[in-house]
């Protein structure tokens, strides 16, 4: 294996999602050649899988400034900065345009199967940092390929590795066998086939974050529609109900996210969903009619449900980086220097401290995990955080350490105080009640997503911190 000189090589970016494409734009701006490798057949492939969900971040918060600069000569203009895009609009109107501008720097249908140092597995020290990275690829037709890189930015996200229903972090007993009635995504109830699956049915929603709020709001809207009579949600919460259960309400500086939590509260208050608290799923059993019975660790058994929607967060798949020397927090699976800044026991999306290349660095010089994947299992990620990450990383790769170290980011505060799987303690319950949420939040109605350009106060909200 004859590897070329490192300085002649591109920076490989894994993933053509929002952060991966932003990374490529920043590298181009720095005069460094990127090569973006995307497993999907289109840019933003993962985002397109939740195309029906509206973000709780506005267009003004989900377009990277340097990417916008790169797009400007094409005549591209950003949609109304105050409007909330859906995932599909984000992908079609921005991500695809950015990928088109990058042109041959973006390769689609290309799956990265492993990254290492040329001629060095993770055990070998000799001349390690002088060797370029070697990236192994597979194509849709089964063909394999190997290429070299001067640095690697893994922005592949966590979409393909959702958390299980089981509260131990492992799939509950019987969960895999019940896959025909379980989904790990917010269902698109505008799709007639999917709508029929949930209409008039009893559906359990497991999770306590923005995605769970979205699913509950969608099911409530279905229950109120002409074809959805009898639709019922059962909201499964691992924790008890406290002041922060429904998010920040009017106290949330991302108003659409606050509205989303209030819509979930309305679903419960209006009887379209029943909340079951302190339920940590241990097993999924089949009833005699094929429906599913959820069993808790404490032995409680819920009445049978027709469907289960599991929205317990995501986790990083780090297998493709297994031959590299990474320094990861033992709990979050995030870079060790970053972990305390994003710990969901202490932080929500808006209280994350600015961070860049130094917090994202590893013992393996030249490799960075960025975007949602850099947060490991923490549910506190926002797109604008990822954009600042890759701005700093691109500057560091280009050798501009002054710019790379100048990390500045102002985030909106949130009323969401913790992750879905945290245990209640008297202290956190008291803090939740006193701090994050408005004591009597005002209900904001959610409905069918409005078109891009609609006034912000009329725009429904959905999505997740990863938006």
Give the mean pLDDT of 86-110: 97
What is the spatial distance between Cα 360 and Cα 334, in angstroms, rounded to a whole number? 9
18-44 pLDDT tens trace: 999 999 999 999 999 999 999 999 999
How many residues does the structure list for the chain? 467
Two structure tokens written together for 388? 């600042």
The reported pLDDT for the residue numbered 206 is 97
| Count of other CB atoms within 10 angstroms of residue 390 | 32
- Report the predicted TM-score, pTM, of the whole model to 2 decimal places: 0.84
324-369 pLDDT tens trace: 999 999 999 999 999 999 887 775 655 677 799 999 999 999 999 9
Strand ranges (DSSP E) for 15-139?
A: 34-37, 106-107, 110-117, 133-139
| Residue 232: strand, helix, or coil | strand
264-288 pLDDT tens trace: 888 888 999 999 999 999 999 999 9
CB 186 within 8 A of CB 162: no
The reported pLDDT for the residue numbered 453 is 37
184-219 pLDDT tens trace: 999 999 999 999 999 999 999 999 888 998 999 999
| Residue 154: strand, helix, or coil | strand
Tell whether the model's pLDDT for residue 455 goes beyond 50. Answer: no
Place of tokens 């590795």: 161
3-state secondary structure 114-146: EEEECCECCCCCCCHHHCCEEEEEEECCCCEEE
- Short-list 400, 402, 411, 408, CA closest to 26: 400
The reported pLDDT for the residue numbered 289 is 96
The reported pLDDT for the residue numbered 313 is 92
Give the mean pLDDT of 113-130: 91
Residue 195 belongs to what H/E stretch? Answer: helix 192-198
| Residue 315: strand, helix, or coil | coil
Strand ranges (DSSP E) for 297-431?
A: 307-310, 367-369
Rounded (5°) CA angle 310-283-210: 20
| Residue 236: strand, helix, or coil | strand
Tell whether the model's pLDDT for residue 397 goes beyond 70. Answer: yes
130-153 pLDDT tens trace: 899 999 999 989 999 999 999 999
CB 213 within 8 A of CB 252: no
Per-residue confidence at 113, pLDDT binned at 50, 70, 90? very high
The reported pLDDT for the residue numbered 408 is 78
| Count of other CB atoms within 10 angstroms of residue 253 | 14
């Amino acid at each position: 294996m004859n590897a070329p000189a490192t300085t002649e090589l591109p920076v490989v970016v894994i993933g053509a999602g929002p952060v991966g494409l932003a990374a490529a734009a920043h590298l181009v701006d720095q005069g460094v050649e990127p090569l973006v490798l995307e497993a999907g057949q289109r840019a933003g492939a993962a985002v397109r899988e939740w195309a029906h969900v509206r973000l709780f971040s506005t267009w003004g918060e989900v377009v990277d400034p340097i990417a916008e600069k790169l797009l400007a000569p094409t005549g591209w203009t950003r949609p109304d900065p105050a409007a909330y895009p859906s995932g599909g609009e984000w992908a079609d109107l921005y991500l695809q345009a950015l990928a088109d501008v990058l042109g041959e720097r973006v390769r689609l249908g290309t799956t990265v199967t492993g990254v290492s140092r040329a001629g060095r597995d993770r055990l070998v020290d000799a001349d390690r940092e002088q060797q370029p990275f070697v990236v192994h690829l597979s194509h849709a037709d089964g063909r394999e390929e190997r290429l070299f890189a001067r640095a690697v930015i893994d922005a592949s996200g966590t979409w393909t590795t959702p958390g299980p229903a089981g509260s131990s972090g492992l799939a509950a007993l019987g969960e895999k066998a019940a896959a025909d009635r379980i989904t790990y995504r917010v269902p698109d109830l505008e799709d007639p086939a999917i709508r029929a699956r949930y209409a008039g049915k009893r559906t359990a929603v497991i999770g306590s974050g923005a995605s769970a709020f979205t699913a509950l709001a969608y099911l409530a809207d279905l229950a109120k529609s002409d074809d959805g009579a009898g639709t019922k949600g059962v909201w499964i919460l691992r924790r008890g109900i406290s002041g922060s259960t429904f998010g920040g309400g009017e106290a949330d500086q991302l108003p659409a996210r606050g509205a989303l939590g209030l819509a979930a509260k309305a679903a419960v208050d209006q009887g379209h969903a029943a909340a079951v608290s302190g339920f940590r799923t241990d097993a999924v059993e089949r009833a005699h009619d094929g429906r599913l019975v959820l069993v808790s660790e404490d032995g409680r058994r819920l009445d049978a449900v027709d469907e289960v929607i599991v929205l317990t967060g995501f986790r990083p798949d780090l297998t493709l980086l297994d031959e590299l020397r990474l320094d990861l927090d033992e709990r979050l699976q995030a870079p060790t220097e970053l972990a305390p800044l994003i710990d969901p026991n202490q932080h929500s999306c808006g209280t994350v401290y600015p961070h860049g290349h130094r917090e994202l660095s590893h013992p393996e010089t030249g490799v960075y995990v960025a975007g949602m994947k850099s947060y490991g299992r923490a549910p506190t990620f926002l797109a604008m955080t990822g954009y600042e990450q890759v701005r700093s990383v691109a500057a560091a790769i280009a050798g501009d350490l002054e710019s790379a170290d100048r990390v500045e980011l102002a985030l909106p505060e949130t009323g969401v105080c913790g992750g879905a799987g945290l245990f209640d303690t008297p202290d956190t319950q008291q803090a939740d009640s006193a701090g994050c949420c408005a004591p009597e939040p005002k209900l904001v109605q959610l409905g069918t997503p409005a078109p891009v350009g609609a006034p912000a106060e009329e725009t429904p909200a959905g999505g997740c911190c990863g938006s």
